[in-house]
Amino acid sequence: MGVFSSQHEQVVFCHDPHSGLRAIIAVYSTALGPALGGTRFYPYASEEEALHDVLELSRGMAYKNALAGLDLGGGKAVIWGDPEKDKSEALLRAYGRFVQSLGGRYYTACDVGTYVQDMDVVAKETRFVTGRSESHGGAGDSSVLTAYGVFQGMRAAAEHRWGTPSLAGRRIGIAGLGKVGKHLTRHLLEDGAAVVATDVSERALDWARATYPQVDLVGSNDELVASAIDVYAPCALGGALNDDTVAVLRAKIVAGAANNQLAHPGVEKLLAERDVLYAPDYVVNSGGVIQVADEIEGFNFARAKERAGRIYDTTKQILQVADAEGVPPALAADRLAERRMADVGRLRTILV
C-alpha cells in the first residue's frame, strides 16, 4: 500500500527539521470516539514503508478498540528513525505539538521503540497522551495488561481446542522476549506450561537465562516455528505468519501479542486448512489499549485488569461464531468489530 487508503479519515505528515522529527499520524476511524493508538519509533527503510505500516496499524487499532468494548476509534503514529540514536527531548516535544494540533482527534501512547518516560516528555506539549508514568498520573507500562490479555486469549483458545483453559503441560513457543514477552513468560510458567523462546536481542536472551533458566532458548524464529510446540506466540513485529511459516508450523494454536501477524490476506485460510486455531491478534493483544484507555478517565488498575480479563470471553465468542458461520476466526472478529462500529457510529446521526 504505497498510497493513502480511501478508508482513512486523516493522515498527517509531521516534519521538524531542527529536531530531526519525521513522523506520520494516521486516523482510521472516529466512529466510536477519538482515535487511540501508540507511537512506533522505528528505522524504516523508506517513507513508503513507514506510511504502509502506519496505515495498517491504525486500521488494526480501530478494530481492536471496537472489540475491546472501548468508546474510542482507531489511530496510530510512526516516527521514522532509530530510537537509540535519534530520540531526544526536542524531537519528542515537537511530536507532541503535532499531536496537540489535531485537537483531540487522536490520543497517543507507547509502542515499539517508545516508553512511558517518552510519553511523559510528549505530554509536556499535549494533553492527548496516555501511557504515562505513574509518577505523572498515568497508568505506567501497558505491556503488563497486554501480556495478561494475551494469556487470557490463549486460555480461551486452549479451551476451544482442548476442552480446558489450563496450559499446564503444554509447550508454548514465544517469539520475542521484549516488554510483553517477558510478562507472558511469567504467566505461562505460573500456569504450569513449558516455554521455549527466541529473540534477536542477546540482552533479552541473557535476561531469560538469568530470570527463568527453565526456559528453552532457540537460535531463530524459524527454528522455533518448526519445533514441537503446542502454541505459537508471536510477540515481536508483524508479518510472522506467512506461507512458509504456516507450512512448517507444528503448533495447533497461534495466540500472540504482535500486531498484524498475518503477512497477507489468505494466510488465515492456510492456517484453517492445516487445522491451526488462530486467535486474532488484535483481540488477544488489546489488554494494553484497555489499560491506557482507562487512563483517560482516571486510571484504576483493578478496573482495567477486570476489563482486560474479558478478552477471554471475547475470544471464546469469536471462535464460536467462526465455527457457527464456517469462517476463519480472523474474519469472524472483523465482522463483529465492523458491526459495532456501524451500529454505535450510526447513533451520531441522532441529533441531541
Task: Kindly give the pairing relationship between strand 39-42 and strand 73-80.
Answer: parallel
DSSP 127: S
The owner of cell 488498575 is 301
**Annotated active-site positions, please?**
76
Q: Is 303 helix (H, G, I), strand (E, B) or coil?
A: helix
Q: What percent of the chain has pLDDT over 90?
A: 88
The owner of cell 542477546 is 202
Mean pLDDT for the stretch of residues 283-301: 93
Side-chain half-sphere exposure of 33, counting CA atoms within 13 A: 13
Position 324 pLDDT exceeds 50:
yes
What Rg, from alpha-carbon coordinates, does the chain have?
19
Alpha carbon distance 88, 71 (integer Å): 33
Do 108 and 127 contact (CB within 8 A), yes or no?
no
Question: What pLDDT does residue 68 have?
Answer: 95
Question: What pLDDT does residue 5 have?
Answer: 53
Nearest-5° Cα angle at 199, 193 to 204: 90
Position 1 pLDDT exceeds 50:
no
Side-chain half-sphere exposure of 37, counting CA atoms within 13 A: 34
Q: For the segment 3-26, what is each residue's pLDDT rounded down to a tens digit? A: 445 689 999 999 999 999 999 999
